[in-house]
Chains A and B, each alone.
Chain A
Amino acid sequence: MAFRLGSLKLPRLGKTSRKDDPYWDFFINRPPADLANTVTEMIRNAPAGNVFPTKSELHTPEITSSHLKGMAEYFGAELVGVAKLDPNENLEGFPFAVICAVHADYDPRSAPGIGGQVPVQNGLFITFVLSAWIRELGFRATAAPDPDAEKFAARAGLGALNKDGRLVTPKFGANVHVANIIRTDLPLAPDG
């Protein structure tokens, strides 16, 4: 239990220790025997839905961006940015990429357990619902994993790349997971 004092919360006090939990390592590091037991697999395999036939009335790109970011934060994103795509990255006619990131206590690339994949699970939740919401606004959006996700994140102002090409953010350092990139034609104002 965190020590609750509102804005005066002390970050170190009451932080949960996992030392007395004999199963924690299994949770974080043991790869699942059946991938059908993981929510990440269910969401990854889900097909994208249709774009709503009527476009919603939107305000300026700046306001739309702020609403999109507020929505992503409400779904659980801790860092959100919008990057403008170059014409050569923009083969399907998506001018913008929305990048959401969540903190990751354990690096999901080296922790294959259900617990180690929790940041991936949270990221998939955000990008699934957020891209579905954009399609319901009447604009195209696809959420897909991208090998250059961290480069896009750096371009959208979430942080900087270190010498290994990993994203480093002011708030979480390198303990950050960049979720699927949402490419969209929703008129947005790019960051960075």
Chain B
Amino acid sequence: MAVNRETNTQAPSTSSNGAEFPAPYLGRTVRLVGPHVNVDMNQSPHPKNARGELGKPLFNWYRNTVSHDQLTRVSAPNHFADRRHFLTNVINRSSNGKVNTERVAVDDPAAMARHIKAVALYMGADVVGIAKTHPSFLYAPGGGRYVQDGSAKDDFQRNSPEDLARNFPYIIQATTAWDYNKLQAHRHHIGDAAYHVSQMKGVMVLKALEGYIKELGYTALRGVVTPQAAGVAGGIGELGRNGLVINKNFGARIHMPDPILTDLPLVADEPVDIGVDDFCKICRKCANTCPTNSIPFGDKVVHNGVEKYKINWLTCYKLRPYVHEYWGSCLTCAAVCPFTKPNVWWHSLATWALHTCPYFARPALVGALKWIDDHFWGMTRTNRVRWLGYDSGVKPGDQACTVAGCTASHDGKGTANADGGTFGYYAPLKENTNRFVKRDA
């Protein structure tokens, strides 16, 4: 990212305005340490790719491919046969409503914070958090608003991040979780279904919440905030080695959609500690199973003034055109994460134990939990998942009947049920992807 720090006068550094905006506490996994240049949304992966800067295969994957899978064609960005079938296009491209001139008075911000969270959950969100705005969470000025598969326009596009942070002190992040059982079929269209359908739902919930805030008489801006920063600062979770925000109930299987920046009086949440920092130091399951070696095995690094585990997004992204025929999103790092478990009591018990354990004893506890995870859930997920007409036991590209008890001959295409088995087909990618994605030194 070639942003010249000296000429970029609008970009804040933590030292120059540290008095008004002290470096925010982001929990134990992320620290804002050095001078930070606000991220230009035009330099993020999808906009770069849309301009063709990442090469022909990725550009063609992004713009010119139609998925073989019917559900992917209605739920995934850019691989539809007809744009009108993708609900996110409908919702995020719609014109914005006006802010209600009759503003609802907020006497008690704490009551309003409770109300907004109750509203988000009532509309179908699974997790919701409120963060105090810090200029470093916002996209660089002048770059426009970033709403994936949509657009946003407002009267504050020319404002500096500091002005925005002064006028709009709160960020609301509401998100949906993916279905646990479907995610077990990662690198498969069933996993895609878990990922894409809940993402569409999350987009709808956030748009409805945005409209509701405007009806309350307050401004709600979209496409302004870096989602991961809002998620970590708002207590939705901690940032893992895989670059995903890890939640105490759902692990890594939650989305980080575009949050809402607002001037509605609220009370911000604090970052949480569920032991992700201690776990990621030891575990490395995601790094071991990543098909493109995009997840670091080493320690945290300081990238753009932020100390965190830095994944190689480019190599992660480059895999996609090569596997497009078989699945949409890889999701392996989310599926193998030991925090990604069903939302049940024994999972709550484990995260509670990590949360309450004193720091010095945590490595031992993590070692024990990791041993349990390796032995009961395995080094990677290879479960066979059957859902409707899908079956992850069928090798990608093969055709087989997936109906239980079906005895028809199907013109020699075979029946998947004949061979049985509890293992899914798990594409062995390490050997193949090394040809075009070299391991980071």
Chain A interface (Cβ within 8 Å of chain B)?
Answer: 4-6, 16, 18, 20-24, 26-27, 30, 32-39, 42-43, 46-50, 52, 56, 59, 63, 66-67, 70-71, 74-76, 114-115, 118, 121-122, 125, 128-129, 132-133, 135-137
Contact = CB atoms under 8 A, between A and B. Distances in A.
A31 to B, nearest CB: 9
Contact of A21 (B115, B204, B345): B115
A70 B182 CA distance: 13
Contacts of A21: 111, 114-115, 118
Interface of B: 70-71, 73-75, 81-87, 90-91, 94-98, 100-102, 104, 111-112, 114-115, 118-119, 122-124, 179, 193, 197, 200-201, 204, 207-208, 210-212, 214-216, 343-345, 348, 387-389, 401, 403, 406
A36 B441 CA distance: 51
A67 B386 CA distance: 12
A5 B346 CA distance: 10
A94 to B, nearest CB: 19
A32, A39, A76 interface centre (most CB from chain B within 10 Å)? A39
A46 B91 CA distance: 9
Contacts, number: 149
B98 A129 contact: no
B116 to A, nearest CB: 9
Contact of B98 (A23, A34, A38): A34
A-B pairs with lowest CB-CB distance, top 8: A37-B97, A37-B211, A36-B97, A49-B84, A49-B82, A132-B85, A34-B97, A136-B70
Contacts of B212: 27, 37, 114-115
A46 B100 CA distance: 24
Contacts of A42: 90-91, 94, 207
A71 B73 contact: no
Contacts of A63: 403
A115 to B, nearest CB: 7
A13 B373 CA distance: 32
A24 B96 CA distance: 24
Contact of A76 (B84, B97, B201): B201
Contacts of A133: 70-71, 74
Nearest to B70: A136
Nearest to B389: A67
A32 B124 contact: no
B257 to A, nearest CB: 14
Contacts of A132: 74, 84-87
Contacts of B201: 76, 125
Contact of B124 (A37, A46, A76): A76
B96 to A, nearest CB: 7
Nearest to A52: B81
Given A16-B118, A70-B388, A137-B70, A121 B204 contact: yes
Contacts of A18: 118
Nearest to B107: A22
A23 B388 contact: no
Contacts of A22: 111, 115
Contacts of A38: 97, 208, 211
A122 B211 contact: no
Q: Tell me which of A47, A66, A125 has the highest count of chain B C-beta atoms within 10 A of its own C-beta.
A: A125
Contact of A36 (B94, B114, B403): B94
A115 B74 contact: no
A67 B111 CA distance: 44
A37 B214 contact: yes
Nearest to A125: B204
B214 to A, nearest CB: 5
